[in-house]
Amino acid sequence: MKRALFHVAGGSAVAASVLLPLALILKQAFTPEAESFAWPPTWLPQQLTGANFRVLFSSVELPYGLQLSLLVGGLTVASTLLVTLPAAWLAARAPAADRRLDATLVIARVFPSIALAVPLAALFVRLGLYNSPAALGLWIAHTLLAIPFAFFVLRTGLRRVPVELEEAAQLDGATPLGAVLRVTLPLAWPSIAAAALLVFLVSWDEFTYALVLQVTNRPLPPLLYYFAAFGYPGTASALAAIMLLPAVVIIALLAPAIRSGGLTGSGR
Amino acid sequence: MAAAEFDQVCKRYGDVVGLEGFSLRIADGELVAVLGPSGCGKSTLLRLTAGLEQPTSGTIRIGERRIDALPPHQRDVAMVFQNYALYPHMTVRENIAFPLRMRGVRGAEQQARTTHIAEALDLGAVLERRPGALSGGQRQRVALARALVREPALFLMDEPLSNLDARLRLDVRQYIRALQRRLRVTTLYVTHDQSEAMTLGDRVVVMRAGRVQQVDTPAAVYEHPASAFVAGFIGTPPMNLLHALHTAGTLTIGAQRLALPADHALRVRAADGPLVVGVRPEAFSSDPAAGGLEALIDPTTREILGSETLARGRVGGEAVIVRLPGVVRDIPLRVAAPVAALHCFADDASGARLT
């Protein structure tokens, strides 16, 4: 009985921590600005409106920002997986290499991104990647940022594929690379998919580098900031609601992928 | 099919010896069983042969081809893993066809060979299933089929029966023997189970701490163990080992003094001094007329197993196990083993056979 009570209380707390911000964002997006900033606040929306979205969709910045965010997100997923998959495979198979990579990546995570953004900006100015219309500089920055996230997810997934399967494939005539491509990667696909989605979200949400490196060619997060800071809080709220969408979809996709086994039957 | 030859193969991991000076010739179509406790180097031997590890020194040949520096996929060696290592994302058919696919065997020939080996191993009905939907015995046969389908030059088996339950293990053991005889495939079979090694092997290699103790037929390993280690490892229960002293044709064990025949090797070589005497539990008999080494039985330790009866006893201060045939209700208090049934080993680290 007591235990059930704990479960209900705990579950409610977790649900509230997820649902309250979500409700707040949606309420702001669908109510007129006057009501959004009324004091005392109205907990339930008094008046629903699509005006914020109409303004947002009529802005010239949105289509470009959306394209840029999708482009950087997609490129970052590709480049991060390309770099991280071999490293994570090595770490999963060679514990000695793993310890060094582990430490390096943990250290990489402690640098504050704003502190890195400024020297990166200076470097990218020289390289012609600063404020690039295709956000090439931001792509590099996001790749660096996303590598540790992807590494830990992929390493966990690759470790779950028994090394004997790769060895068996080699004895069956596959080259070492062939064994990984034909056996390990198909079996590790849930974690590869999870890593890809996670990396996309990291890039989609990233604000600091985007703000510093893309001063006028803005992807969505700095665009949202720009709307809010320059007197369009309603438009910003509508954009916030749109930015939520991929996050919600991805999390819905991630949950079953992370849970699925896929390895039953290899052994006894 | 081909013969395989190991010449002075060594593997060291830093200061740790994995395998030391391993030399062996496996004849074409022969099954050699490698037997030893865990850590004896038998798995290292298998991994070196498969190419999953590189030897520190020495050469391995299959036929005329030297393979010790080749990567696994170029060796023409197939292996059945202890845990089978089936590809869980492929069907049974795809699992079996995988080695053919990797060697560019496609289309009708791939289909025909896959179906043929599957039928031979009684897997025809489960070809479209995934390994996850199979029983332990079926998985084991899929692993065999995948290894055999491409007719490898050398076939390696790493404790392939250890994940099966006891009844199935006996069936599959017979099955592997019959299959290996029929296909005449040169095989290296690694196990820690002496009954597997003795029943399956044309010859048995007994290993300890990275070194070969004996290479011989199963009968010879049982009848003439090359060292005290082999004597104490082979047999269920294994040979009793007792401390003894040899002085001018007389063997002193505890308080017993046994005269050796004039042609006994110890006497001929006049090797006086301490030694280890081995006597098999089944060498003892309850015949009151039997002479030789006497043991006093503790009747409370009698275990009737049906086909045999076991009991514990003492020779001087040392414990022995005695095994008498059939059901023995009234265990004799005194049993004896003839002098001719005693094995003599050096009383040193080598434990080498003296007679």
Task: Convert the pLDDT of each residue in B43-87 to its tens digit.
Answer: 999 999 999 999 999 999 999 999 999 999 999 999 999 999 999
Question: Hey, of A164, A167, A172, A181, which one would you mutate to test binding to chain B, going by the most B CBs within 10 A of its CB?
Answer: A172
Given a contact cutoff of 8 angstroms between Cβ atoms, the answer to whether A18 and A251 are in contact is: no
Torsions phi, psi for A241 (to 5 deg): -65, -40
Q: Is A262 on the interface with B (CB under 8 A)?
A: yes
3-state secondary structure of B125: helix
3-state secondary structure of A81: helix
Torsions phi, psi for A233 (to 5 deg): -60, -35
Q: Is A187 on the interface with B (CB under 8 A)?
A: yes
What is the reported pTM? 0.82
The pLDDT tens digits of the residues spanning A127-171 come to 999 999 999 999 999 999 999 999 999 999 999 999 999 999 999
Convert B228-254 to b/e letters by CB count within 10 Å (16 or more is b): bbbbbbbbeebbbbbbbebeebebebb
Residue A110's pLDDT is what? 78
Tokens of A38: 């009324």
Tokens of B89: 């994302």
* B32 vs A223: CA distance, rounded Å: 73
**For chain B, how many residues are written?**
355
Burial of B185 (0-12, 13-18, 19+ CB in 10 A): buried
Closest residue of A to B154, CA-based? A171
Residue B191's pLDDT is what? 94
- Nearest CA of chain B to the CA of A173: how many Å? 4
Region A201-212 average pLDDT: 94
Q: Is B13 on the interface with A (CB under 8 A)?
A: no
Which of B51, B71, B81 lies closest to A168 in CB terms? B81
Amino acid of residue A120: L
- Whether A167 sits inside 8 A of B72 (CB atoms) is yes
Residues in chain B closer than 8 A to A178 (CB atoms) = 73, 102
How far is the first Cα of chain B from the last one, in angstroms, to the nearest whole number? 38
Question: What is the band of A267 on the pLDDT scale with cuts at 50, 70, 90?
Answer: low
Question: Hey, of A171, A187, A264, which one would you mutate to test binding to chain B, going by the most B CBs within 10 A of its CB?
Answer: A171
- Whether A173 sits inside 8 A of B73 (CB atoms) is yes
3-state secondary structure of B209: coil
The pLDDT tens digits of the residues spanning B275-285 come to 999 999 999 99
Q: Is A260 on the interface with B (CB under 8 A)?
A: no
Burial of A211 (0-12, 13-18, 19+ CB in 10 A): middle
- Whether A186 sits inside 8 A of B85 (CB atoms) is no
- Whether A170 sits inside 8 A of B73 (CB atoms) is yes
Q: Is A165 on the interface with B (CB under 8 A)?
A: yes
How far is the first Cα of chain A from the last one, in angstroms, to the nearest whole number? 41
Strands B250-253 and B273-279, how do they pair?
Answer: unpaired
Radius of gyration of chain B (CA): 24
* B81 vs B162: CA distance, rounded Å: 10
Residue B270's pLDDT is what? 67
Region B209-233 average pLDDT: 95
Region B153-169 average pLDDT: 88
Closest residue of B to A266, CA-based? B86
Share of chain A above pLDDT 90, in %: 54
CA B351 to chain centre: 19
Is there a cis peptide before residue A186, judged by omega within 30 degrees of 0?
no
Question: What interface predicted TM-score (ipTM) does this complex get?
Answer: 0.85
Given a contact cutoff of 8 angstroms between Cβ atoms, the answer to whether B3 and B26 are in contact is: yes
* B319 vs B297: CA distance, rounded Å: 10
Location of structure tokens 């006597």? B279
Q: Which of residues 104-133 of A touch B (CB under 8 A)?
A: none
Question: What is the band of A268 on the pLDDT scale with cuts at 50, 70, 90?
Answer: very low
* B138 vs B91: CA distance, rounded Å: 13
Share of chain B above pLDDT 90, in %: 75
Q: Which residue has the higher pLDDT, A45 or B77?
A: B77
Which of B52, B86, B136 lies closest to A167 in CB terms? B52
